[in-house]
Structure 1
Amino acid sequence: MRVLMISWEFPPVVVGGLGRHVHALARELVVAGHEVVVLSRAPTGSDSATHPTVVQTVDGVRVLRVAEDPPHLEFGADLVAWTLGMGHGLLRHALTALLPGWRPDVVHAHDWLVAHPAIALADVLGVPLVATLHATEAGRHSGWLPGPMNRQVHSTEWWLARRADEVITCSVAMHDEVAALHDLDPAGVHVVHNGIDVRRWRSRGSAPGPATATQPGPRLVYFGRLEYEKGVQDLVAALPRIRRRHPGTRLLIAGTGTQRAMLDERVATHRVRRSVDFLGHLPDAELTALLRAADAVVLPSRYEPFGIVALEAAAAGATLVASTAGGLGELVRDGETGLGFAPGDVAGLADAVGRALADPRAARRRARAARARLRTEFAWPVIAARTAAIYAGARAAGPRELPRPKIPTGNLFDRQS
């Protein structure tokens, strides 16, 4: 099949796990014999002079990287306007530089940010539209849509989900969430997990900076985006309790995000400044070494559609302690492939970490079980085959005019109970 994937991130433009997912999926589909073109963007804040539109081939995947248009729009300050501008640029370049000589059999949209160009192209070409919803706006805010922008994003998600001929989610938790929030028949929503390439995480290099220090005591590692829904503030709050049971425990935080200042405040409030190191963004080799050197990798998310970081930690052979939020509860099986605790439960988090540190032998056994599971359920050839089967079964229903969704007041998750 000829597949046109549309994604707002694709390496080296990476914001979170979505970009890596699209890259790996596209590459594996090519290995399986499909022809894949990815329509994506240049880095935020660039323009056609610094980063002109180019067509490249990456791992057998043809990538059309579209330059940002001239208007001064900022991702953080003008999210919806910026997204519309990006969508216009993607659509214009697809029509002029790609489609005159090439026609896809299916359009695959990844998340709400590419809803406009994906729907337009599927409508114009008359081909099936497949949409993967990697997260929801309501989910990021624990069921609430507190402001106009949140409601705008939610309604765009609804539009994409309702217009798509097939909808894919990355976990059972996301399947239920998406079906309920967007009024979809649950039987028509597919679950296809994210995958992992275990070979990428075999590095045996030395860990960076503070992780190689000689201070005695266990090392806890968090890696990922520094955002409120990731729950790092709960891990910081639990650290004093953990240190009372396991003196000298240090917390190493790898990643960047909008909540760094808040986390600095929490570190000061809980008086653990000397026990916490912020490492920022780490190259893959250094991150792998850091994970391998950890006594436990802790993933305290309050909201997590899937949790690809759990797969990455398992691939590195790390001991996993994770909340049961969303997809994490499916990936980290308590007592089997790691230890779990309820999202936001600081005491439960501290207890789970304490149990992991108290019995290293059992922790290593769980880590081996987690890594072994990656080669069956989460291997990219399996993920690509499932996705290709959805493509093959998709039928184009054609353009549809949909009304604006009615957005209930209050917590949207209350409607699901």
Structure 2
Amino acid sequence: MKVLVVSWEYPPVVVGGLGRHVHHLAVELAALGHEVVVLTRTPTGSDAATHPSSDDVVEGVRVIAAAEDPPAFDFAQDMMAWVLAMGHSMIRSGLRIRSATGEPWVPDVVHAHDWLVAHPAVALAEFHDVPLVATIHATEAGRHSGWVSGRVNRQVHSVEWWLAAEADALITCSASMHDEVTRLFGPDLAEIHTIHNGIDITTWPFRPRRVNTGPATLLYAGRLEYEKGIQDAIAALPRIRRTHPGTTLVIAGDGTQETWLRELVRTHRVTRAVTFAGPVGHDGLVTLMQACDAIVLPSRYEPFGIVALEAAATGAPLVTSTAGGLGEAVTDGVTGLSFAAGDVAGLAAAVRGVLADPVAAQRRAVNARDRLTAEFSWGLVAERTAGVYLSAKRRVRRPLGRPVIVERPLPDRDLSGGPG
């Protein structure tokens, strides 16, 4: 098939896990024999003079990066205007795609990744009259504990709703995200397919653990945002240190809540026991994962939790909440130890369980890594995604009204809200 993948991030422009996901998927689809074109963008803050639009073949994938237009929109201050401008430049680049013979290149399917590319993906699928497949990686309501009461929250939610309503097939990365998308955007949606994220274990080398006779080191890796639950790990640290003196916590990553989290560290009087390592890069993260006694992922909202797979590949014992996809990626007592999202006492107990029996923790870590090759290979993800492409049919379009936006939290969602 000829597949047009539309994503606002693709190497070398990578913001988070979405960029890595689209990259691995596109390369594997090309390896299966599909003709894959990725339509993406140049770096934020660039322009056509410094970073002109490009059209290159990388790892068997044709990558078209649309240059930013001249209007001075700043993503942090003018997010929706910036997104619309990006979409406009991507549409123009998408309409100019030519084949090797110079003829217009027409895809068999358009695959959109998240709401930021809704406008170019919907427009190009409509122009070519081909099925639109949309992967919903996360939702605005989920990221904000169920609330979409802010002006920008409502705007983002409405674009997510529009993309879901326009899609001829939907993909989510976990069963919990399947349920969330149905609850938020249903019931008149196309079929929703659950396809877990994959992992390339060759880039996350395994290292067996030696029994540590000294103070333990815990690791958190990811964005510093409220929904990641880092505040719960900080709150649990004094309890953990009472039974395991000297235990420290390394926090790797950055985000909007770093200042608040540093204040919490002082509030809980664990300043000397917590290190904010900042962004450490891939190699630095591998080193931290291989050295830690356990990685703690206390998310309160987590569509999937790719960091859990990456840590498992390195052999790091897993201590994770049961939020969303983490509850599906980690089997309590078999591939790691789990606790209910937001349960500080449960988090402390799980960490103590790992530190009290490192042999059992290592056995679970080996089980976790063995599971990766069987269930989370990118080749399998690509095969399943191609199956969605083949089954997707362009539905009869009908006029859409404005979405009804429910501003209260979703059922069964944590209601505690974020800082401030």
Give the TM interval when normalised to the shorter protein. over 0.9
Moved over 6 A (4+): none
- Deviation for aligned residue 1:413: 3.2
- Deviation for aligned residue 1:31: 0.7
Give 5+ residue unaligned stretches, structure 1: 205-213
> How far apart in 2 are the matches of 1:215 and 1:260?
32
Q: Which residue of 2 aligns with 1:291?
A: 289
> How far apart in 1 are the matches of 2:302 and 2:227?
8
Q: Which residue of 2 aligns with 1:208?
A: none
Matches within 5 A, 1:233-312: 233-312=231-310
Q: Which residue of 2 aligns with 1:357?
A: 355
Partner letter of residue 311 of structure 1? L
> How far apart in 2 are the matches of 1:249 and 1:57?
48
Q: Which residue of 2 aligns with 1:68?
A: 68
Q: Which residue of 1 aligns with 2:215?
A: 217
Q: Which residue of 2 aligns with 1:27?
A: 27
Q: Which residue of 2 aligns with 1:59?
A: 59
Q: Which residue of 2 aligns with 1:210?
A: none
How many residue pairs align between the two structures? Answer: 406
Q: Which residue of 1 aligns with 2:87?
A: 87
The alpha-carbon distance between structure 1 residues 97 and 338, as it changes in their structure 2 partners (threshold 3 A), is same
> How far apart in 2 are the matches of 1:281 and 1:409?
34
- Deviation for aligned residue 1:16: 1.5
- Deviation for aligned residue 1:215: 11
Whether contact under 8 Å (1:87, 1:116) holds in the other structure is yes
Q: Which residue of 2 aligns with 1:379?
A: 377
Candidates 392, 395, 400, aligned match of 2:393:
395
Query: Cα RMSD over matched residues?
Result: 1.8
TM-score (norm 2): 0.93
Whether contact under 8 Å (2:107, 2:130) holds in the other structure is yes
Does structure 1 residue 78 correspond to structure 2 residue 70?
Answer: no
- Deviation for aligned residue 1:278: 1.3
Q: Any idea what SS the aligned residue of 2:193 has? A: strand
TM-score (norm 1): 0.94
> How far apart in 2 are the matches of 1:186 and 1:117?
20
For residues 18-53 of structure 1, the C-alpha deviation after alignment (integer angstroms, 9 at most, x for no partner) is 110000000000111111111111111222222221
For residues 243-282 of structure 1, the C-alpha deviation after alignment (integer angstroms, 9 at most, x for no partner) is 1111111111111111111111111111111111111112
Matches within 5 A, 1:85-234: 85-98=85-98, 101-184=104-187, 188-202=191-205, 216-234=214-232
> How far apart in 2 are the matches of 1:203 and 1:333?
20
For residues 85-111 of structure 1, the C-alpha deviation after alignment (integer angstroms, 9 at most, x for no partner) is 111111111112458631111000000
Counting aligned pairs with the same residue, the percent is 63
Whether contact under 8 Å (2:112, 2:118) holds in the other structure is yes
Whether contact under 8 Å (1:123, 1:399) holds in the other structure is no
Q: Any idea what SS the aligned residue of 2:145 has? A: coil
- Deviation for aligned residue 1:401: 2.5
Partner letter of residue 142 of structure 2? G
The alpha-carbon distance between structure 1 residues 293 and 392, as it changes in their structure 2 partners (threshold 3 A), is same
Give 5+ residue unaligned stretches, structure 2: 414-420
> How far apart in 2 are the matches of 1:254 and 1:231?
14
The alpha-carbon distance between structure 1 residues 398 and 12, as it changes in their structure 2 partners (threshold 3 A), is farther
- Deviation for aligned residue 1:3: 0.4
Whether contact under 8 Å (1:4, 1:107) holds in the other structure is yes
Candidates 338, 342, 360, aligned match of 1:340:
338
- Deviation for aligned residue 1:58: 1.8
> How far apart in 1 are the matches of 2:356 and 2:407?
46
Q: Any idea what SS the aligned residue of 2:385 has? A: helix
Q: Which residue of 1 aligns with 2:418?
A: none
For residues 198-233 of structure 1, the C-alpha deviation after alignment (integer angstroms, 9 at most, x for no partner) is 1111177xxxxxxxxx99410101111111111111
Whether contact under 8 Å (1:218, 1:357) holds in the other structure is yes
